[in-house]
Chain A
Amino acid sequence: MKTGNEQRDTLAAPAGRRDWLAGGWALFWENPIGKIGLILMACFALMAAASFVPPLLDPMYHPMHGVDPEISHATGPSAAHWLGTDFIGRDILSQLLAGARIAFMVGLSAAFMSIFFGTLIGMISGYAGRFVDTLLMRIADMVMVMPTLLVVLILSSLFGQLRIWTIVLLIALFRWPGVSRVIRAQTLTLKHRPFIEAARVTGASHLRIIFRHIFPNVLPLALLYMTFRVTSAIIIEAALAFLGFGDPGTVSWGMMLQWVWKTGHMFQAPYWLLPPGICISLLTLSFYMLGRAMEEVLDPRLRKEGESE
C-alpha cells in the first residue's frame, strides 16, 4: 500500500519523472511478460511497415486487387508466394502484412478514441460531481451492459456495410465506460489534493484545472488502459469481419478469415486459415502483455477493472 502511494506521488512530481521512467523501464524489461510482449509487438510493427513493399515489387502482390495471372485457385506456399495464394490468386503474405497495418490502425485509433472519451468523461464526472456525475455514470452503466460486438453487429447489419473508420468509431463509443470509471475514481482522489485546492484558490478556471492539473496525473493510467482497449478493439473488428460485417474494401485479418471461411477453404487450406488467426491472437496477446507489464510498473493496485476484457 505504501509503495503504491509513494509511486503515485512520484508520478505527480515532475522532478522524479525521469528517474521513475528509468526505473520503470528496468522493471518492465525485467518482466518476461513485458519483454515478450514488446518483442512480439516489434515484429508486428515490422510487418506493418513491410506491408508497403510487396505491391512495389510487382502489382500482382497488391493485397486487394493484385492477382497472379498464372493462378486461379488457392495454392499452398511456393517460391513466388511464400504463404500461398487465396482462391482468386492473391498473395496471402502480402494480405497478412497489410492486415498487420490495418490491425494497428484499428486497434490504436479505436483505443485512443475510447480512452479519449473515457478520460474526458471520467475527469468531468469526477470533477463536477453531483448531478453531472450521476448522469454520466448512469449512462456509463448503460453502455457498459451492452455487448459491444452484438451492438456493432446490429448497427452494421442495419445500416449497410460500415466503413472501417465507422467501425473504429463505434467500438470507441462503446468501450469508454470502464476507463471513465477508473479515471473518475482517480480524479476524486486528486480533487482534494492540496495542489488542486491551491489552483482553485488562485482562481484557475475549471477547464484549466482539469487539463492542466488533473489530466497529467491521470494520463499514465489512461495510457495503461489504452493497451487493453487496443486488444479489445482488434478482437471486435476481427470478429465483425469474420462474421461478414467488416469493411470489404480493407484487407484485415478478420476479412481474410471470412474469405477462407465463406469460400469453403476453411479445413482445406491450413496455409490460409492459420496465419491470420495466429496473427490476431498474437498481436492482441502482445498488447495485453505490454499492458500487464506496464501495470506492474505503474501501480499494482490499479488493475482490477480493466482486465476482464
Chain B
Amino acid sequence: MTVGNRTRAALLLLCAAVLACASAAWAKSRHPLRIGLGEEPRTLNVWMASDANSNNILSQIYQPLYRHTPEETEMVPWLAAGPPEMEADGVTYQVRLRPARWSDGSAFTAADVAFTCRLIKEFKIPRHYSRWKFVDRIEAVDDRTVRFVLKEPMAIFLTRSLTIPIVSEKEWREVADAAKKQKKPLATLFNHTVERPLGTGPFVLEKWHKGAFLHMKKNDWFFGQGLRIGGRLLGPFVGEILFKIYGTSDVAMLALKKGAIDMYWQGIQPGYIENLEQHPEIRIFSSERSALYYLGFNLRRPPFDDPALRRAAAVLVDKSFIIERVLQGYGSRMDSILPAGNEFWYNPNLTEYGEGLNREQRIRAVHRILKEAGYRWTRPPVDDAGKVQPAAGLRLPDGSLMEPLTILTPPADYDPHRAISGLLIQQWLRQAGIPASARPMSFGALLQQVKARHDFDAFILGYGRLSLDPDYLRIFFHSEFDRERGWNMSGYHNPEFDQIAEASEKTMDLEARRLLIYKMQEIIARDVPYLPIYLPREIEAVRTDRFAGWVQMLEGIGNIWSFCQLSPVN
C-alpha cells in the first residue's frame, strides 16, 4: 500500500467516525416521544384503515363520542358532553356535545356527527355499517345536540355504535359527493388519499415520510386539554411524537435498549422479557387482553360433526402445557368464548375439559368417552390390562375408518404460537388414534378455506381485539352467519341457541341480558364448536428514563389515555 492509499483509508475512517458521533449528537437536541411501530401504517384514510398500525396513528386524531375508561367499568363521554338521554319510546337518543374544535381551529358541531353517521349508512362502510343499519334517522338538533332514532331498541347502540370515530364534514363532504357519482363509490372513498387528516384528538399529523417515520405534533385545539375526564387530568404534555418503523421486533428491542425509542407499540414475545428486565431503565407491562385463541371444528362433515369427538379432543388438548411452554407462562387458559377478564359477562361455571389431568389420565378419559360414543380401534389407546399404548385404526361409530384429517393453522411467520400449538395438538390427538396433522397455511388462504369454502376439518385461529360487549357470541354461532364469508365458521346450527342469541341482542336490561349471555356460553361449552384454548397477555416494553405516565388498561398501554397523560421526566 502506498502512502497515498493509507492516507485515503485513514480519511475514510475519520469520516465514518465523525458521521457516527455527529448523528448521535444531533438526536439530543429535542425531546420528542419516540415510538416504534412494527410496520408502516397502511393508510390515513380512516374508513380504509383496518390494521393496528394505521389505527394507532388515527386514534390520536379521530375521536369518538364515548370511550371506555382505563378501568373499563364504564363508558365516559368523550366528545359528548354527558351520557346519552333516552326518550320514553326507547328508540330515540339525544347526545349533547362538548365545545370542541377541529385541529384547524374550526368548530366541531352536531353537523359533523350527523355527517359521519350518514356517511357510514350511505356508503354501507364495511365494519361500521352493521352497527348503524338499525339506526333510522340522525338529526342535528342544534350545533351542539344530535338526535338518533333507532328502528328498534338495541342493546349495543351505546357501546358499539356511539364509539365510532367522528370525521369532519369539511374534510369529507366533497370526497363523498364525488365518490357517489363514481361507478364504484365505496372503492373510490376507500382509495381517497388523506395527506393531513383533520381530527379533534390530542395530536395532529405533521409529516408522514413514507417508509421511514411519522411525525405528530401536539394539537393546540384539543378539547380535552386541561379537562378532567374519567378522573384524569388530560394533557397532552408531550410536544411531538415520532413514530419510527422497525420491521422486526428484535431490532425494535435493540432500539429500545439503546434508547432510540421510548416505546414499542406492539406486543412482544415473552422470549424478550428476561433480557429486557436486566435493563433498569426499561419497564415491562403485561396487560390483560380481550382476545380469543381457539381450535375450531367443521361441524358440517365427519368426523367433527360428532360432539363426542369434539369433547374428546377438548380433553386431549393440554391448555396448560401450551400456556407454560409456548406462551412461556404469559397467558391464561380459556374455557369460555369470553375472556375471564370480562367479568360482567363471563360465565365462570363452565366445564373445564381435562383440567388437572395428566397425559395418561387424559388418554384414559378420551378412551372412555369415545368407547361410549361407539368408536372402536384396531389398537385402542388403553389395552385390556389398562395400560396406555400408541393407538391405531380408529373407527367411527358407523364402522368406517377415520380418514386422515388436518388442522389448519396460520404460518409461523404470522404467529409462531398458533403454528406450534397446531403441531402439539396434532401429536396429542394422535395419541388417541385420531389421525390428525397440522398444516400451516398462508393467512389469506386459510381464511378462504375456512370462511368461504368451508373445506376443512379443524383450524386454529384467534381474534385479537374483541369488544367488551359480548355480541360477538351471536355473530360466531348464530346459524344466520353460517354462509360464505360468515363468521359462523364451524357451521354450528342450534335453534335453541339462535333464539337466545336474538333475544340477547335486543334485551336492554343488563341483568336479564347477562343471564342470556351466560346461557349462550354454557351451550357453546357443551357442544364445543370452538374449543377456546388460551388468552395471551399483551406484553409491552417502555423506557422510563425520558417519559412517564403510561396508563395500563385492557389491551395494553398503547391507548389514548397514555398519550394524554404522558409527560417528560424531570
Asked whether, in the complex, the Cβ of B411 is within 8 Å of the Cβ of A87, the reply is: no
Asked whether, in the complex, the Cβ of B274 is within 8 Å of the Cβ of A161, the reply is: no
Given the known inter-chain contacts A74-B271, A161-B442, please indicate yes or no for A248 contacting B411, CB distance below 8 A: yes
Which residue of the partner chain, among A72, A87, A245, A266, contacts B250 with CB atoms under 8 Å? A266
Stretch in B103-111, B237-245, B320-328 touching the partner: B320-328
Please tell me if A64 contacts chain B, counting CB pairs below 8 Å.
Answer: yes
Contacts of B411 in A (CB 8 A): 161, 244-245, 248
Please tell me if A89 contacts chain B, counting CB pairs below 8 Å.
Answer: yes
Residues of B384-427 at the interface with A, using a CB-CB cut-off of 8 Å, are 411-414, 416, 419-420, 423, 427
Q: Looking at chain B's contact residues, is the secondary structure mostly helix, strand, loop, or mixed?
A: helix
Please tell me if B254 contacts chain A, counting CB pairs below 8 Å.
Answer: yes
Residues of A32-74 at the interface with B, using a CB-CB cut-off of 8 Å, are 64-65, 67, 72-74
Asked whether, in the complex, the Cβ of A64 is within 8 Å of the Cβ of B253, the reply is: no
Residues of B126-180 at the interface with A, using a CB-CB cut-off of 8 Å, are none
CA distance A251 to B329 in the complex (A): 24
Asked whether, in the complex, the Cβ of A88 is within 8 Å of the Cβ of B325, the reply is: yes
Asked whether, in the complex, the Cβ of B325 is within 8 Å of the Cβ of A67, the reply is: yes
CA distance A64 to B446 in the complex (A): 23
Stretch in A152-160, A196-204, A280-288 touching the partner: A152-160
Please tell me if A268 contacts chain B, counting CB pairs below 8 Å.
Answer: yes
Q: Which residue of A lies closest to B412 (CB)?
A: A244
Asked whether, in the complex, the Cβ of B441 is within 8 Å of the Cβ of A160, the reply is: yes
Min CB distance B253 to A, Å, is 7
Q: Which residue of B lies closest to A161 (CB)?
A: B440
Residues of A208-240 at the interface with B, using a CB-CB cut-off of 8 Å, are none
Asked whether, in the complex, the Cβ of A157 is within 8 Å of the Cβ of B442, the reply is: yes
Given the known inter-chain contacts A64-B423, A72-B325, A258-B413, please indicate yes or no for A267 contacting B439, CB distance below 8 A: no
Given the known inter-chain contacts A160-B445, A267-B254, please indicate yes or no for A262 contacting B427, CB distance below 8 A: no
Asked whether, in the complex, the Cβ of B445 is within 8 Å of the Cβ of A158, the reply is: yes
Please tell me if B69 contacts chain A, counting CB pairs below 8 Å.
Answer: no
Please tell me if A81 contacts chain B, counting CB pairs below 8 Å.
Answer: no
Residues of A182-208 at the interface with B, using a CB-CB cut-off of 8 Å, are none
Min CB distance A5 to B, Å, is 41
Contacts of A67 in B (CB 8 A): 325
CA distance A21 to B440 in the complex (A): 48
Contacts of A258 in B (CB 8 A): 412-413, 416
CA distance A159 to B437 in the complex (A): 18
CA distance A243 to B416 in the complex (A): 12
Please tell me if A259 contacts chain B, counting CB pairs below 8 Å.
Answer: yes
Asked whether, in the complex, the Cβ of B423 is within 8 Å of the Cβ of A248, the reply is: yes
Min CB distance B489 to A, Å, is 17
Interface residues contributed by chain B, number (CB under 8 Å): 34
Please tell me if B61 contacts chain A, counting CB pairs below 8 Å.
Answer: no
Contacts of B274 in A (CB 8 A): 268
Please tell me if B269 contacts chain A, counting CB pairs below 8 Å.
Answer: yes
Please tell me if A249 contacts chain B, counting CB pairs below 8 Å.
Answer: yes
Asked whether, in the complex, the Cβ of B328 is within 8 Å of the Cβ of A73, the reply is: yes
Asked whether, in the complex, the Cβ of B438 is within 8 Å of the Cβ of A248, the reply is: yes
Contacts of A259 in B (CB 8 A): 412, 416
Q: Which residue of B lies closest to A71 (CB)?
A: B325
Contacts of A87 in B (CB 8 A): 271, 325-326, 328
Please tell me if B29 contacts chain A, counting CB pairs below 8 Å.
Answer: no
Please tell me if A303 contacts chain B, counting CB pairs below 8 Å.
Answer: no
Which residue of the partner chain, among A88, A160, A262, A266, contacts B413 with CB atoms under 8 Å? A262
Please tell me if A261 contacts chain B, counting CB pairs below 8 Å.
Answer: yes
Q: Which residue of B lies closest to A244 (CB)?
A: B413
Please tell me if B560 contacts chain A, counting CB pairs below 8 Å.
Answer: no
Given the known inter-chain contacts A264-B269, A268-B274, please indicate yes or no for A245 contacting B413, CB distance below 8 A: yes
Asked whether, in the complex, the Cβ of A249 is within 8 Å of the Cβ of B248, the reply is: no
Please tell me if B475 contacts chain A, counting CB pairs below 8 Å.
Answer: no
Min CB distance A205 to B, Å, is 46
CA distance A88 to B421 in the complex (A): 11
Binary per-residue interface labels of chain A (83-106) against chain B in the complex, 1 for a CB within 8 Å, 0 otherwise: 000011100000000000000000
Please tell me if B249 contacts chain A, counting CB pairs below 8 Å.
Answer: yes
Min CB distance A222 to B, Å, is 36
Please tell me if A263 contacts chain B, counting CB pairs below 8 Å.
Answer: yes
CA distance A157 to B248 in the complex (A): 19
Contacts of A244 in B (CB 8 A): 411-414
Please tell me if B307 contacts chain A, counting CB pairs below 8 Å.
Answer: no
Asked whether, in the complex, the Cβ of A72 is within 8 Å of the Cβ of B438, the reply is: no
Asked whether, in the complex, the Cβ of A249 is within 8 Å of the Cβ of B328, the reply is: no
CA distance A175 to B442 in the complex (A): 25
Min CB distance B452 to A, Å, is 14
Min CB distance B327 to A, Å, is 10
Asked whether, in the complex, the Cβ of B324 is within 8 Å of the Cβ of A268, the reply is: no
Contacts of B344 in A (CB 8 A): none
Which residue of the partner chain, among B324, B325, B328, B412, contacts A262 with CB atoms under 8 Å? B412
Contacts of B268 in A (CB 8 A): 264
Q: Which residue of A lies closest to B322 (CB)?
A: A88
Contacts of B437 in A (CB 8 A): 249
Please tell me if B462 contacts chain A, counting CB pairs below 8 Å.
Answer: no
Binary per-residue interface labels of chain A (160-179) against chain B in the complex, 1 for a CB within 8 Å, 0 otherwise: 11000000000000000000
Asked whether, in the complex, the Cβ of A243 is within 8 Å of the Cβ of B413, the reply is: yes
Asked whether, in the complex, the Cβ of A262 is within 8 Å of the Cβ of B416, the reply is: yes
CA distance A70 to B326 in the complex (A): 15
Contacts of B328 in A (CB 8 A): 72-73, 87
Min CB distance A187 to B, Å, is 41
Min CB distance A239 to B, Å, is 12
Min CB distance B247 to A, Å, is 12
Please tell me if B275 contacts chain A, counting CB pairs below 8 Å.
Answer: yes
Asked whether, in the complex, the Cβ of B249 is within 8 Å of the Cβ of A161, the reply is: no
30 contacts between A and B (CB under 8 A): A64-B423, A65-B423, A72-B329, A87-B271, A158-B442, A159-B442, A159-B445, A160-B441, A160-B442, A161-B439, A161-B442, A244-B412, A244-B413, A245-B411, A248-B411, A248-B419, A258-B413, A262-B269, A263-B269, A263-B271, A263-B416, A264-B249, A264-B253, A264-B272, A265-B271, A267-B250, A267-B254, A267-B275, A268-B271, A268-B275
Q: Which residues of B contact A (CB under 8 A)?
A: 248-250, 253-254, 268-272, 274-275, 324-326, 328-329, 411-414, 416, 419-420, 423, 427, 437-442, 445-446
**Which 7 residue pairs of A and B lie closest in terms of their CB atoms, listed nearest first?**
A244-B413, A264-B269, A264-B271, A160-B441, A88-B325, A266-B250, A264-B272
- Further 19 A-B residue pairs, CB within 8 A, beyond A258-B413, A259-B412: A64-B423, A72-B324, A88-B420, A89-B325, A160-B439, A160-B440, A160-B441, A243-B413, A244-B411, A244-B412, A249-B437, A258-B416, A261-B248, A261-B250, A263-B269, A264-B249, A264-B250, A264-B271, A269-B271
